[in-house]
Amino acid sequence: MLKKVLLIVIIIVYSCEKSSNSIIADIVITNARVYTLSWDDPSLDGIPAQNAPYENGVWQPDAEAIAIKDRLIQFVGTNDEIQNYIGENTKIIDANNALVVPGLIESHGHVQEIGEKEEAVNLLNLSAKDIIDVIYKRSLEIPEGEWIVGSGWDEAVFANDYPDMLELSAKVPNHPVVLNGLRGFGAMGNQLAFEKAGITNKTEATDGGEILKDDNGNLIYVLLNQAKNLLNNKVPEKSFEQKSRMMMYGLDELKSLGFTTAHHAGVIGKHMEVYEDLQSKDQLPIRIQAFVAARMFNIDLVNKWLEKGPTTNDTSFLQVKTFKAYYDGSLGSRGANFIEDYSDMPGQKGVSSTDYGFHPDLIKKAMDAGFQLAIHAIGDKGNRDVLDFYENYFKENPQSKALRHRIEHAQIVHPDDFKRFGELNIVASVEPGHAVEDMPWAIDRVGEERAKGGYAWRTLRKNNVTVIFNADYTGTDPSFFYGAYCAITKQKKDDDKQWFPEQTFTPEETLRAYTIWAAYASKQEHLTGTIEKGKWADLTFMDMDVLNVGNTNPNQLLNGQILKTMVNGKVVYEK
């Protein structure tokens, strides 16, 4: 009898304990290897914090199960502990030993370009001859008079020897052709396209642009930096349905790559219309931070948001809290602005400021209205001038410093200016892929000494700068695994040569630059970026332990795969 009484008491106590300590979850994830990233940041040298799950050079996942209710994380712990959160209607996801990390954040890209480039002729890694051949083949497949748009030739690779557009014009005389550069800083075309655009050898280049000519002053049918718009603006406008299709293609591509949030840098009116339509229909598969392009041709959208002010609803999948501005051009096309001449082109310092479409009064209005700024700057003079701009504005508006304004790319920084990033609380938004892909020619552009200030992520961190990683897609491969490989190794695939290896990041820093530090850049670190109770159920499942693989065999990262992407507690992608 006594045994029965004791058994009843034990059952009652266990039942009370279970009911009082648990919430019945909507979703429970089990059998996972979870890195919550909820421990402290590593040191500025990349050494893991004392409370990190790291010992003797090996990382250990700090959880194996997650409970989700009402689209928020409710509990993180062990498989045994999670049983208290399972009810009759709880959906159980067996992770099958997959690695689960906070939802990845792509912090600078151009979503619609993924779709546009998918529908354009792919010129990536083609020789000059192959470019002409592939465009000729396309001309045989479509009716005469239709525009042919290609994309992907590298502005830096062809900077000294462009494909012969006169040869292309002879082979393709009856289709207007526009060929856009990989990084968005150049465009080539045939004679018919230039005629339709009204571009002659007497045409004045737009501010911040260049119309290239031969020694006799004749067109070679190549436009650089802002001049590329002279040609692109003549390409027939796509229908709303086409624009929506291309945007959705880009969004679907990003979710398949494990990204749960994307920062779309430089949104113009036609992009915003698509986003707002998708938002109204609840069809955005991932969260979007839309950066309004601070351009005069985009003034209607600029004024609309200056009047509305930044988005305040954190639950909205479409957020508008940032304006994107442009200070100088690119390094490959020699448009980035430098203090001294380009090493491979004496007399050339690049273009910047109002010559490149930077409008200080317009930018200040956005800052006055409470918007964060994300300013494109690549050359050392461009970065210095933007830091000066921020510093001068903060003197009169010190409260704005808390908005965590950004510099996009920060590619080449003068040694005297690294500390200013930290002092001014400026986020450095950078691309690991660019550092690796630019190696063959970047030192030619700026010389060995200036190159030491290039892609200098460790120096930025040592100056207390928040560094966030992205691909500036479609400028480089948007895969997290490729970006992580580049950040950790600073070397090209199948190449042992490293470019300034002292500037590499550790695997932990790299993962943080794609998660919690990117969340911090958007003032959303209380909502996402780590796996903790009360945060959004935005999670990325992958097939390898990126922290340990990144430490021991970073080349293997290139074989990594995304298995599942969860946004707001909903699986939006599954391999």
Q: What is the pLDDT of residue 377?
A: 97
Angstrom distance (rounded) from CA 315 to CA 536: 9
**Residue 447: burial class (beta carbons within 10 Å; 0-12, 13-18, 19+):** middle
Element (H or E) spanning 570, and its range?
A: strand 570-574
Q: What is the pLDDT of residue 177?
A: 93
Helix (H/G/I), strand (E/B), else coil: 454? strand
Bridge-based pairing of strands 177-181 and 186-189 is antiparallel
Secondary structure (H, E, C), 527-559: CCCCCCCCCECCEEEECCCHHHHHHHCHHHHHH
174 in a structural domain:
yes
Q: What is the pLDDT of residue 495?
A: 80
Helix and strand element counts for the chain (H, E): 20, 25
136 in a structural domain:
yes
166 in a structural domain:
yes
Q: What is the pLDDT of residue 22?
A: 62
Q: What is the pLDDT of residue 10?
A: 42
Sign of CA dihedral 15, 20, 22, 24: positive
User: Over the chain (575 residues), what is each successive 10-residue block's mean pLDDT?
Assistant: 43 44 89 99 98 98 98 98 97 99 98 86 89 92 89 83 91 93 87 93 81 90 87 89 94 98 97 98 98 95 98 95 95 92 94 79 97 97 98 98 98 98 98 91 92 95 99 90 98 86 98 99 98 99 98 98 99 98
Q: What is the pLDDT of residue 99?
A: 99
Q: What are the beta bridge partners of residue 408?
A: 376, 429
> In the chain, how many domains are there?
1
DSSP 142-170: S-TT--EEEEEE-TTTTTTS---HHHHHH
The CATH number covering residue 223 comes to: 3.10.310.70
324 in a structural domain:
no
Residue 454, C-beta contacts closer than 8 angstroms, at least 6 positions apart: 411, 412, 413, 435, 442, 446, 500
Q: Domain range for residue 170?
A: 112-232
Element (H or E) spanning 389, and its range?
A: helix 380-396
Task: Name the token pair of 511.
Answer: 């993962």
Q: Which residue, among 254, 390, 261, 363, has the nearest Cα to 302 in the 3D structure? A: 363
Angstrom distance (rounded) from CA 269 to CA 265: 13
Residue 1, C-beta contacts closer than 8 angstroms, at least 6 positions apart: none
- Exposed e or buried b for every residue in 228-248, given b needs 16+ CB within 10 A? bbbbbebbeeeeeeebbbbbb
214 in a structural domain:
yes
pTM: 0.89
160 in a structural domain:
yes
Q: What is the pLDDT of residue 205?
A: 81
Q: What are the beta bridge partners of residue 522?
A: none
Which amino acid, 353? S
293 in a structural domain:
no
Q: Which residue, among 548, 518, 547, 515, has the nearest Cα to 532 in the 3D structure? A: 515
Residue 108, C-beta contacts closer than 8 angstroms, at least 6 positions apart: 263, 265, 374, 408, 429, 431, 470, 471, 472
172 in a structural domain:
yes
- Whether cis (ω within 30° of 0) applies to the bond prior to 474 is yes
Q: What is the pLDDT of residue 355?
A: 63
Secondary structure (H, E, C), 86-103: CCCCCEEEECCCCEEEEC
